[in-house]
Each structure stands twice: as C-alpha cells, then as structure tokens.
Amino acid sequence: MFLKIIARENEWNRKYNFTDEGTTGFLMDWKMGMAFFAWKFSEENVKFYKCEQEVFEKNFRALEERVAYEMDPFDSPHFLRYPIEG
C-alpha cells in the first residue's frame, strides 16, 4: 500500500494530465532527496516518475489515504524525470 497523492493545480500537472478526474497518484519512496511516485491513468496505463523532494512538495500533496498497487516482481519500472520528460 502506498500513500495517495494529489496534484496541485499548475501548468505541469495539467500538461501531464495529473489533474484529470479518474486518475490516481501514489508515492512509492523517498531516497537521497528524491521522490519516486507513480500515476495511474487507467488499469493498463501506469507511469513512474522521479523528482527532487522540494519539487515534489511544491507540485503534489500526500494524503493519509492509501492506494493498493501490485508490482510485477519481474518488472523493473523506468522512472521518467518530472517535469522534464514526457
């Protein structure tokens, strides 16, 4: 279970469709000043992102609510750089 996150209203989050209804974000980990998170656009479309903790805190807010997401143990996700890569 991961902490659910919501996107703050800004240009980048609208560009990435993080503010669209029906999408869900969740924080996966903090490591060495970096935030690793994922955004679930649909059941089949989940993308993984990373950014500096400061950037994350400016653009997202973590909630107390939890999100369930099962990762395939054989899958090694590629984390896109937020807000640079698309």
Domain ranges of the chain: 2-81
Tens digits of residue pLDDT in 9-64: 999 999 999 999 999 999 999 999 999 999 999 888 999 999 999 999 999 999 99
Is pTM, for the whole model, over 0.85? Answer: yes
Quote the radius of gyration of the chain (alpha carbons, Å): 12
Query: Does 86 score more than 60 pLDDT?
Result: no
Integer Cα distance of 64 and 30 in angstroms: 16
- Looking at residue 85, its pLDDT comes to 57
- Looking at residue 20, its pLDDT comes to 93
Secondary structure (3-state) at 10: coil
CB burial readout 33-54, b (16+ within 10 A) else e: eebbbbbbbeeeeebebbbeee
Which residues make Cβ contacts (< 8 Å) with residue 35, sequence separation at least 6? 27, 29, 50, 51, 52, 53, 55, 56, 60
